[in-house]
């Protein structure tokens, strides 16, 4: 009798240890690598498996099964904690209404200890510059040469798991390497890329000045000639990038930094958009910044440099008028407008703008890629020609009268349409 009790007790303790080991592996190793739905299924299967084995042992061998209760409770509470800790997907409409940002960030609590202690990789962190959707941007210093750098971080492990995380890491470093090969005076220089404690980072040229988002409201618009010369430089930078096989995919005012004191214009975030997009599309969100996206990009088709030029045309329209050509609080309505509705003539908002400039803007905002400028170099040349003509004729368009503008709503797109009598620089049309 005593020997039988010892055997059953030993079996019970052994099986308890095995079950607890399985629970530990489930909570620590398996769940973090699964999506929510797969994690729920795995936990339910493990609970039923433990209960079934315990019932069978009790029925056949009279092995005590009281140990199953704390095991099942531990698994249940552990799974609930893991489930609540998973990042909830953002609502699709949030990408339409959220203010554009030039930074990528994550909540402060998710940043690694190195950043809090003042270092990331070999770089010393001096202060935080900004935050956005997937990481943070820091002002850092390379202690070896004393150079200040901007360090942009991406918390890939919060957006991906398992094979997707491996693929995201590979894409991140591939895009960083590609962007690092771009050597142009108007493109931000990439110095280094790395990863530490699942936080990927890119060290790049630290830029002074403001991004163009500061000049997109009617009360703060830059002089027209300044706008055209800045956009011409961006077009030249994009022409160079496209010639190297690199498409930006997220051209917008927040990704262009200007410093009037030093006559600096820099396009930033080459390669970042593609990595961030792969996270957003997993939850059904549209890529990039919707209001600046080309019709083909919104449709999910393959894009080339002409898509960037469309985005640049949206940016030019906004810098000239303080308004976007298409906007809506509804993602579906916005996508329909961009895909089908002609962009309004900029002269419907600023009648004193030159007709030649209105034609340039209209050409960049053509729905069909083949109807737009074929390259940024010609767009830049046309913009500089408009500036030269304005100077020779003494034209100096006045500021936008904000009080006379139509209401800033989805009805804003119902404006004067421009007759397409010129095929611009697409002689094949």
State whether 268 and 162 are in the same domain. no
State whether 180 and 312 are in the same domain. no
State whether 315 and 356 are in the same domain. yes
> What's the confidence (pLDDT) of residue 109?
37
Q: Answer yes or no: is 323 within a domain.
A: yes
Q: What is the 3-state secondary structure (H, E, C) of the chain?
A: CHHHHHHHHHHHHHHHHHHHHHHHHHHHHHHHHCCHHHHHHHHHHHHHHHHHHHHHHHHHHCCCCCCHHHHHHHHHHHHHHHHHHCCCCCCCCHHHHCCCCCCCCCCHHHCCHHHHHCEECCEEEEEEEEECCCCEEEEEEECCCCEEEEEEEECHHHHCCHHHHHHHHHHHHHHHHHHHCCCCCCECCEEEEEEECCEEEEEEECCCCEEHHHHCCHHHCCCHHHHHHHHHHHHHHHHHHHHCCCCCCCCCHHHEEEECCCCEEEECCCCHHHHHHHHHHHHCCCCCCHHHCCHHHHCCCCCCHHHHHHHHHHHHHHHHHCCCCCCCCCHHHHHHHHHHCCCCCHHHCCCCCCHHHHHHHHHHCCCCHHHCCCCHHHHHHHHHHHHHHHHHCCCCCCCCCHHHCCCCCHHHHCCCCCCCCCCCCCCCC
> What's the confidence (pLDDT) of residue 330?
85
List C-alpha distances in Å: 302 to 164, 252, 313, 369, 370.
Answer: 21, 20, 19, 11, 14
CATH of the domain at 166: 3.30.200.20
Mean pLDDT value of segment 322-345: 92
> What's the confidence (pLDDT) of residue 6?
45
Res 300 pLDDT > 90: no
Q: Answer yes or no: is 418 within a domain.
A: no
Proportion of the chain above pLDDT 90, given as a percent:
43
> What's the confidence (pLDDT) of residue 151?
92
The phi-psi region of residue 256 (left if phi > 0; otherwise alpha if psi is between -120 and 50; otherwise beta) is beta
Is 236 exposed, middle or buried (CB count within 10 Å of its CB: 0-12, 13-18, 19+)? buried
Q: Answer yes or no: is 9 within a domain.
A: yes
Mean pLDDT value of segment 196-209: 87
Are the C-beta atoms of 106 and 298 separated by less than 8 Å?
Answer: no
Mean pLDDT value of segment 206-214: 94
Q: Which of 20-34, 158-172, 197-211, 276-290 has the lowest mean pLDDT?
A: 276-290
State whether 21 and 71 are in the same domain. yes
Q: What is the rounded distance in angstroms from the CA atom of residue 78 to the CA atom of residue 87? A: 16
Choose among 232, 246, 195, 214: nearest CA to 101. 214
Mean pLDDT value of segment 263-286: 62
State whether 312 and 399 are in the same domain. yes
The model's pLDDT over 343-356, given as tens digits with 9 standing for 90+, comes to 999 999 999 999 99
> What's the confidence (pLDDT) of residue 48?
74
Res 17 pLDDT > 80: no
State whether 351 and 369 are in the same domain. yes
Rank 29-38, 47-56, 106-115, 263-272 by mean pLDDT and report only the highest.
263-272
State whether 239 and 374 are in the same domain. yes
State whether 36 and 137 are in the same domain. no
Domain boundary among 205, 233, 255: 205
> What's the confidence (pLDDT) of residue 75?
65
> What's the confidence (pLDDT) of residue 47?
74
Q: Answer yes or no: is 422 within a domain.
A: no
Q: What is the rounded distance in angstroms from the CA atom of residue 364 to the CA atom of residue 351? A: 19
> What's the confidence (pLDDT) of residue 283?
39
State whether 336 and 389 are in the same domain. yes
CATH of the domain at 270: 1.10.510.10
State whether 217 and 318 are in the same domain. yes
Res 271 pLDDT > 80: no
> What's the confidence (pLDDT) of residue 85?
53
Res 364 pLDDT > 90: yes
Mean of the per-residue pLDDT values of the chain: 76
Q: Answer yes or no: is 423 within a domain.
A: no
Q: What is the rounded distance in angstroms from the CA atom of residue 134 to the CA atom of residue 198? A: 12
Q: Which of 47-56, 185-194, 330-339, 373-382 has the lowest mean pLDDT?
A: 47-56
Mean pLDDT value of segment 22-37: 64
State whether 146 and 233 are in the same domain. no
Res 427 pLDDT > 50: no
> What's the confidence (pLDDT) of residue 158?
75
Are the C-beta atoms of 67 and 16 separated by less than 8 Å?
Answer: yes
Domain boundary among 205, 229, 252: 205
> What's the confidence (pLDDT) of residue 294?
95
Residue ranges at the known binding site for ATP: 152
Res 193 pLDDT > 70: yes
Domain boundary among 205, 227, 255: 205
Range of the domain at 63: 2-85
Question: Could you tell me the pLDDT band of residue 376, with boundaries at 50, 70 and 90?
Answer: very high
pTM above 0.85, yes or no: no
Res 221 pLDDT > 90: yes
Mean pLDDT value of segment 323-333: 89
Q: Answer yes or no: is 171 within a domain.
A: yes
Res 219 pLDDT > 70: yes
Higher pLDDT, 353 or 49: 353
Please list the alpha-helical segments (H only) found in 160-203: 162-180
Q: Which of 52-56, 57-61, 262-266, 311-315 has the lowest mean pLDDT?
A: 57-61
Residue ranges at the known binding site: 152
> What's the confidence (pLDDT) of residue 68?
61
> What's the confidence (pLDDT) of residue 388?
97
Question: Could you tell me the pLDDT band of residue 166, with boundaries at 50, 70 and 90?
Answer: confident
Q: What is the rounded distance in angstroms from the CA atom of residue 243 to the CA atom of residue 237? A: 10
Just list the catalytic residues: 250
Mean pLDDT value of segment 102-122: 51
Q: Answer yes or no: is 33 within a domain.
A: yes
> What's the confidence (pLDDT) of residue 92?
32
State whether 70 and 187 are in the same domain. no
Domain tally, the chain: 3
Q: Answer yes or no: is 425 within a domain.
A: no
> What's the confidence (pLDDT) of residue 266?
97
């Amino acid at each position: 009798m005593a020997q039988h009790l010892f055997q059953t007790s030993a079996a019970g303790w052994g099986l308890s240890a095995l079950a607890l080991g399985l629970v530990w592996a489930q909570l620590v190793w398996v769940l973090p690598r699964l999506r929510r739905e797969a994690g729920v299924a795995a936990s339910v299967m493990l609970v039923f498996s433990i209960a079934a084995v315990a019932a069978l042992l009790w029925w056949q061998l009279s092995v005590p099964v009281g140990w199953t209760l704390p095991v099942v409770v531990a698994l249940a509470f552990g799974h609930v904690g893991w489930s609540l800790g998973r990042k909830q997907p953002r609502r699709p409409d949030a990408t339409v209404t959220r203010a554009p940002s030039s930074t990528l960030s994550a909540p402060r609590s998710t940043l690694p200890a190195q950043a809090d202690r003042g270092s990331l990789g070999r770089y010393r962190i001096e202060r935080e510059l900004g935050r956005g959707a997937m990481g943070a941007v820091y002002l850092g210093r390379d202690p070896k040469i004393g150079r200040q750098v901007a360090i942009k971080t991406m918390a890939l492990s919060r957006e991906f798991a398992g094979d997707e995380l491996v693929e995201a890491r590979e894409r991140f470093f591939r895009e960083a390497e590609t962007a690092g090969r771009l050597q142009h005076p108007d493109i931000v220089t990439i110095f280094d890329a790395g990863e530490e404690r699942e936080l990927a980072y890119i060290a790049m040229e630290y830029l002074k000045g403001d991004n163009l988002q500061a000049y997109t409201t009617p009360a703060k618009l830059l002089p027209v000639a300044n706008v055209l010369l800045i956009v011409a430089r961006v077009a030249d930078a994009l022409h160079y990038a496209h010639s190297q096989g690199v498409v930006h995919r997220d051209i917008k005012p927040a990704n262009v930094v200007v410093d009037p004191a030093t006559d600096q214009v820099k396009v930033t975030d080459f390669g970042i958009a593609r990595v961030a997009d792969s996270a957003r599309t997993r939850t059904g969100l549209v890529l990039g910044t919707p209001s600046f996206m080309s019709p083909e990009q919104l449709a999910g088709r393959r894009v080339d440099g002409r898509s960037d030029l469309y985005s640049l045309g949206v940016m030019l329209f906004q810098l000239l008028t303080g308004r976007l050509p298409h906007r809506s609080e509804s993602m579906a309505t916005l996508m329909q407008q961009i895909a089908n509705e002609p962009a309004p003539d900029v002269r419907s908002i600023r009648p004193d703008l030159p007709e030649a400039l209105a034609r340039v803007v209209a050409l960049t905002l053509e729905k069909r890629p083949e109807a737009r400028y074929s390259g940024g170099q010609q767009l830049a040349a046309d913009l500089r020609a408009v500036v030269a003509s304005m100077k020779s004729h003494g034209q100096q368009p006045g500021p936008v009268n904000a009080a006379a503008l139509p209401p800033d709503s989805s009805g804003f797109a119902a404006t004067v349409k421009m007759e397409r009598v010129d095929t611009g620089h697409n002689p094949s049309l």
